[in-house]
Amino acid sequence: MTLRFDVVTLFPPIFDGLTQHGISGRAHARGLWRLHAWNPRDYTTDAHRTVDDRPYGGGPGMVMLSAPLTLAVEHARAARTPDDGAPVVLLSPTGRRFEQGMAARLAQGPGAIFVCGRYEGVDQRFIDACVTDEWSLGDFVLSGGELAAAAMMDAAVRLLPGALNDELSRVQDSFDPSLSGLLDCPHYTRPEVYAGKSVPAELLSGHHARIARWRREQSLRLTAARRPDLIQAARTAGLLDAADETFLAGL
C-alpha cells in the first residue's frame, strides 16, 4: 500500500526537495509514497485571489482566510480513499511536539493531510471546524508550516519498508540507533589518521563484541551528558541492561 500525504500550502515547490532528493526521493521514485499539494489560492473566487486579511482586534501581520483553506482540505479529502481516517494536521508551535513514535505511527497509517500556515497564522474557525491534530516541530518560530511538515514526512517515509538500502541492519533491532532510546555513537571512516587524530582503536580491532560494547558505551556516555532525560526514559522502557547500568554508575 502506498503512503499518501496531502499538503495544503501556498508554496507547493517547497516540497520538491523531499520528493526529488535523497532517501525520500528514492522512496518516492519507487512508489512507496505520494505527495499531493493543494494551493488555497486555487480556491479563491475574487480577482486578486486573496488568501489572507488583517486580524480583527488589530496588530501586526495577516491571518489566513478560512474559506480557501477549507475548500483546499475538502478537495484533498475527496481525492483520498473515503473514510481512511487520515488526520488533518495543522503545523503550529502550540501543537504537540513531534517525536519518533509519531513518525513511526505515521508511516504505518493512512498518511495525513498537512495544513501549512503562513503569515501570523490561520483563522481559528478553520482550526475548530477542519483540523483534527496540531503538531509542532519544536520550540522555535518558522516562517511557515512547510518545513515542519517536510521534516515530519521525511521522518516517516524513511521508515517505510524498502526506503533504505541497508535493510539487513534493521533485521537486528539493536543495530538501529533510533530504536535504542539513546543518542547515536560517533562514526568514523577513512583515512585511519586525519589531522593527527586516529580512529579509536576499538573500531580497528576487528572484534565484533568489543566494537559493539564500545559503541554502546559511547552512546550511553553521550546520552548521559547531553540528554539525561533519555537515560531515564530508556530505563523506564526496559532498554538498559545490567552492563549498561554498571557503566553509567562509573561515569
Residue number, 111 or 121, with CB nearest to ligand 4HQ: 121
92 binds ligand 4HQ (CB under 6 A): yes
Residue range at the interface with ligand 4HQ (CB under 6 A); choices 49-57, 86-94, 209-217, 243-251? 86-94
The residue from 55, 120, 200, 213 that is catalytic is 120
Among residues 128, 63, 61, 56, which one has the least CA distance to residue 90? 128
User: Is position 192 annotated as part of the catalytic site?
Assistant: no
Q: How far is the CB of 40 from ligand 4HQ (least distance, A)?
A: 13
Q: How far is the CB of 115 from ligand 4HQ (least distance, A)?
A: 9
Q: How far is the CB of 55 from ligand 4HQ (least distance, A)?
A: 13
186 binds ligand 4HQ (CB under 6 A): no
Size of the site for ligand 4HQ (CB under 6 A): 15
Contact positions with ligand 4HQ (CB under 6 A) in 121-160: 121, 136-138, 140-142, 144-145, 148
Spatial separation of the C-alpha atoms in residues 217 and 100, rounded to whole Å: 22
Q: Are 18 and 35 in contact (CB under 8 A)?
A: yes
28 binds ligand 4HQ (CB under 6 A): no
Residue number, 110 or 144, with CB nearest to ligand 4HQ: 144
65 binds ligand 4HQ (CB under 6 A): no
Among 118, 155, 220, 231, binds ligand 4HQ (CB under 6 A): 118
Q: What is the secondary structure of the chain as a DSSP string?
A: --EEEEEE-S-GGGGHHHHHSHHHHHHHHTTSEEEEEE-GGGG--STT---EEPPTT--SS-EE-HHHHHHHHHHHHHHSPTT----EEEEEEEEEEP-HHHHHHHHHSSEEEEE---TTEE-HHHHHHH-SEEEES-SS--SSSHHHHHHHHHHHHTTSTTS-S-THHHHSGGG-HHHHSSPPPP---S-SEETTEEPPHHHHS--HHHHHHHHHHHHHHHHHHH-HHHHHHHHHTT---HHHHHHHHT-
User: Is position 139 annotated as part of the catalytic site?
Assistant: no
User: Is position 158 annotated as part of the catalytic site?
Assistant: yes
40 binds ligand 4HQ (CB under 6 A): no
Q: Which residues bind ligand 4HQ (CB under 6 A)?
A: 91-93, 117-118, 121, 136-138, 140-142, 144-145, 148
Residues with active-site annotation: 93, 120, 158, 173
